[in-house]
Structure 1
Amino acid sequence: MTASAAGSDRRERLKAKREAALHRPVLARHLSDGFNGRWTRRQWVQASLFATLGMLVAAIVPGFGPPAQHPQPLHAPRHSMALALPPLPLSRLKGTQGDSWQVVHVRRGQTLGGVFEELGIPAATLHRLLEHPGVKQSLTRLKPGTELAFDLPADGQLRTFRYDRDESHRVELGLAGDKIVEKVIERPIETRTVVISGKVGRSLFHSARKLGLSPSNINTLTDEIFKYDIDFNEDVAASDRFSVVVEQAWREGELIRTGPVLAATFTTGGKLHTGFRFERNGKAEYFSGDGRPLKKSFIRMPIPYARLTSKFGSRRHPVLGNVRMHKGVDYAAATGTPIMAAGDARVEFVGWKGGYGRTVILDHGRGYTTLYGHMSNFGKIRRGQRIGQGTVIGYVGSSGLATGPHLHYEFRINGVHRNPLQVTMPPPEPLRGAALAQFRAQTAVALARIQEVEKIIFADAGQPADPGKAKPVRPKA
């Protein structure tokens, strides 16, 4: 082959390679420009760039890479094994006294039978216990909160039943075969005389309850001791203070009962009010420091919060139409509103009395009587019965000559009608003689304790104390 022929053949092969390169994507356009059999530096840079981009895409996008190798899930067979647990100790298996007590507090409406049923104790066992002397009488009426205890060992058979017969005696009934063995445990009660002091704060009730006074104690302060001297809706300020002496019953470190208020002081508007409990003729009353009863002989209004509709004096009768003397006052109120006795009295009359309709007349002694007319019904009173001030004697109505429900109230002194709104009420009988001497000796101790406690709690009188921080102080007996 000649040199010219060889060169021609070489040119043909190069041309074929060039044509093949021109048909490749992306690179075709770049390689078409004057390729002479050797790549230029620019072409090498472009090829390297595209190769690098391809490897990056393959690394980033999972679909371009080789499939990941995931471990195959293991499906190992499962087997159950019965493991031997450690045996119950002999004391637990046979049951040891005191290791299995279940204490139950009776809920409202719950019966003794219901308690036994919830614990899975047979009714026959309950009947056996109720047949034991004294059990049925103690557990016939269960109050909410009553504590009952059951000694139930692992075998579920009731071994001992426990209940409180009273505050100081606990009864345990042990079931041993066909026998019931009774054990009475005495629980001593400690009585402490305590002084509780504090400030009214935002609410007298809230502050007093926080310090430990019972709702009954608080009602005694507001409705009995200081009712006639302090208006608790208008006269009391947050800085006013009170002190109360009460007896508390403690058992095994737990307060179980608070007794009545023995003495109390209330300072409002810079004025000190005192009240002391003392029994006169077998009846407990509250007296001032000088022995005068705090309770007034009569209350002005036999109906609380009633509206005065007719005064004492001459008027035209609303039913008869003639002008006649109105010998009392009328208070309008809804039918059924309770009517209270204006003072301590003996019931002189209960029944129908002409135009007065259903009427009650009370004899308060020393020539004082009161009449209550137009009642819809009577209270639980009878003629000759002695009742205390505030006792409900009847209910507002419109019986007799009345145009609507109201109370007609009359006040008489030695049979003469007086205006109940203007008459000077007789003062209650003060203590005298031996009773006064005993009262002074009793109140001196209580007042000294109150003063001692107040000196401690209210030492810095310039700064109001937080009633929540005032703590009960228990003076030594």
Structure 2
Amino acid sequence: MFNNDSQRHATLRKAAGKFPRRHLALAASTLLALGLSLLFLPGENAEAKRTAIPLNLELTPVAAIENETEEDVAAAPPVKAPEPEWSKVEVRPGDSLSSIFSRANLTPQELHEVLTTAPKAKALNKIQPGQTIAFQVDDDGALSAMSYQVDKLQSLVFERGVAGFTTTEVREKPEVRQRVASATITTSLYRAANEAGVSQNIIMELANIFGGVLDFVYDVRKDDFFIVIYEELYLHGEKLGSGQILAAQYFNQGRSFQAYRYIDAEGEVDYFSETGESMRKAFLRAPLDFTRISSRFDPKRLHPVFKTVRPHRGVDYAAPRGTPVYAAGDGRVIKSGYSKPNGNYVFIKHGEAYITKYLHLHKRAVGQGERVRQRETIGWVGSTGYATGPHLHYEFLVNGVHRNPATIVDKLPPPTRVGKSEMPDFLAQISGLQLQLRTYAAQRNYAADSGQG
């Protein structure tokens, strides 16, 4: 076929030139591997005990090596060093920051650096038993970061920076679930709500919302009924507590009061009736919560100390010593002091026409000239002055004339309302809650009529 060897070689070179370089490189690699393996094949006269040497050669095509660039090397993901572990220390009764740092094998100098350079480090002075503080140290054992869990939703993380420690506030967002509770009152609102599984915070807020239309000391009666729709907060399946009351209804002696939470166009939050009237009246019907009236307004009352007929120009609320006393409305403290008959007392002026008086306080929380807001604590129930036991004596004056605190509120100017332009939005916000209240009220009435409630 070929005349001589030179002609054969020339033909082979011409044929090889038709193949791409990468194919030739692969072929060369394959031949090389085959040749190496033949070198180690045992011959016929080889000893039976000769040990074979395994070869695990991973051959990279020549073309691939030639085409690899610096960009390819740079694009390779860097090897990440493992992050140092956090060690946790639980705060024990009697612990101080110094003792906690000592248990974590950290120095007083490191504690001083955190306290003097980290923003919000003052929060560490409020540590409580049961809380946890986590520490992270570097390879030399020096503090690099620490985390303080303020509560179940908030943590402060302090990290070492160039000029001391920085602070990052971490907040978790809880899951919000809606809950409905209802109860019939047999003895008191507090007991009925508590038996229905309603938290104390929700009970107090319920009284706050209806405090302008109901005196929960004087007005509450057996067989009153309430429904409350409110939020409960959960984190990772664990219940954290209660959120906001969304709507509530109270049935009192044939009357019904409804309240709905509404956020207006300016972002202000308040509670309104179904007609858009604010539940927040100018004055509370009672300046303290969940107590009982021991003496009502009576101009011909026999004085309990002097045993003489003296006008009783106010209402006495019997309550345990230390019960908070609230300002009945916004105003300015015109007197705050002590006298032999009144004991510790506070007088508040509301506008030009109204004055409220609070007597026999155990302690006073405000001084003369201070501005106060409705439901702000102004003192605590006591028995100072001419008093036979711990109670609050409460008076209400209109233009200098004593009026019955239990009835005067109804005769005062009406409260604010939802603006006319916002009424469509208000009604849209509360429509679903209205339906829920009607549904639960109907279920309760059906159960009561059928003897199930």
What is the TM-score normalised by the length of structure 2? 0.56
What letter is aligned with 1:106? V
What CA distance in whole angstroms lies between the structure 2 residues aligned with 1:283 and 1:102? 44
Tell me, yes or no, if the aligned pair for 1:102 and 1:149 is still in contact at 8 Å: yes
Q: Hey, what does 2:422 align to over in structure 1? A: 438
Q: Hey, what does 1:265 align to over in structure 2? A: 248
* 1:298 CA drift (Å): 3.9
Alignment CA distance shift 1:105-1:224 (3 Å): farther
In the TM superposition, 1:26-425 aligns within 5 A as 97-98=82-83, 100-134=85-119, 136-151=121-136, 157-158=141-142, 160-163=144-147, 171=157, 173=159, 187=170, 190=173, 194-200=177-183, 204-205=193-194, 208=197, 215-225=200-210, 228=214, 234-235=222-223, 241-245=227-231, 259-261=243-245, 263-266=246-249, 273-278=257-262, 285-295=270-280, 297-299=283-285, 304-308=291-295, 311-313=298-300, 319=306, 326=311, 328-329=313-314, 331=316, 340-341=325-326, 343-344=328-329, 345-351=331-337, 359-365=345-351, 367-373=353-359, 378-383=364-369, 385-389=371-375, 391-393=377-379, 395-397=381-383, 399=385, 402=386, 404=388, 409-420=394-405, 423=408, 425=410
What CA distance in whole angstroms lies between the structure 2 residues aligned with 1:462 and 1:422? 31
* 1:290 CA drift (Å): 1.6
Where 1:140 maps in the other structure, the secondary structure is: helix
What letter is aligned with 1:217? I
Structure of higher CA gyration radius: 1
* 1:149 CA drift (Å): 1.9
What CA distance in whole angstroms lies between the structure 2 residues aligned with 1:162 and 1:316? 64
* 1:433 CA drift (Å): 6.4
Tell me, yes or no, if the aligned pair for 1:335 and 1:397 is still in contact at 8 Å: no
Question: 404-413 vs 226-235, which deviates more?
Answer: 226-235
Count of residues in correspondence between the two structures: 351
Where 1:313 maps in the other structure, the secondary structure is: coil
* 1:315 CA drift (Å): 6.5
Alignment CA distance shift 1:162-1:377 (3 Å): closer
What is the CA deviation profile of residues 251-298 of structure 1, one whole-angstrom value per residue up to 9, with x for unaligned ones? Answer: x8888786443x223476998643233579998543222233335534
Where 2:411 maps in the other structure, the secondary structure is: coil
* 1:163 CA drift (Å): 1.3
What CA distance in whole angstroms lies between the structure 2 residues aligned with 1:334 and 1:412? 23
What letter is aligned with 1:151? Q
What CA distance in whole angstroms lies between the structure 2 residues aligned with 1:398 and 1:275? 38
What letter is aligned with 2:89? V
Where 2:292 maps in the other structure, the secondary structure is: coil
What is the CA deviation profile of residues 342-387 of structure 1, one whole-angstrom value per residue up to 9, with x for unaligned ones? Answer: 6204323334678656543332346233334455654423235334
Where 1:243 maps in the other structure, the secondary structure is: strand
What letter is aligned with 2:202? N
What CA distance in whole angstroms lies between the structure 2 residues aligned with 1:195 and 1:138? 32
Tell me, yes or no, if the aligned pair for 1:291 and 1:430 is still in contact at 8 Å: no
Tell me, yes or no, if the aligned pair for 1:348 and 1:361 is still in contact at 8 Å: yes
What letter is aligned with 1:328? R
Q: Where does structure 2 lack aligned partners over 5 or more consecutive residues?
A: 1-79, 185-190, 448-453
Tell me, yes or no, if the aligned pair for 1:243 and 1:266 is still in contact at 8 Å: no
What is the CA deviation profile of residues 390-420 of structure 1, one whole-angstrom value per residue up to 9, with x for unaligned ones? Answer: 6334654453xx4745765443322223344
What CA distance in whole angstroms lies between the structure 2 residues aligned with 1:289 and 1:109? 52
Where 2:204 maps in the other structure, the secondary structure is: helix
Tell me, yes or no, if the aligned pair for 2:287 and 2:328 is still in contact at 8 Å: no
Where 1:326 maps in the other structure, the secondary structure is: coil
Alignment CA distance shift 1:135-1:182 (3 Å): same
- Of structures 1 and 2, the one with the larger relative CO (CA 8 A, separation 6+) is 1
Tell me, yes or no, if the aligned pair for 2:147 and 2:155 is still in contact at 8 Å: no
Alignment CA distance shift 1:144-1:411 (3 Å): same
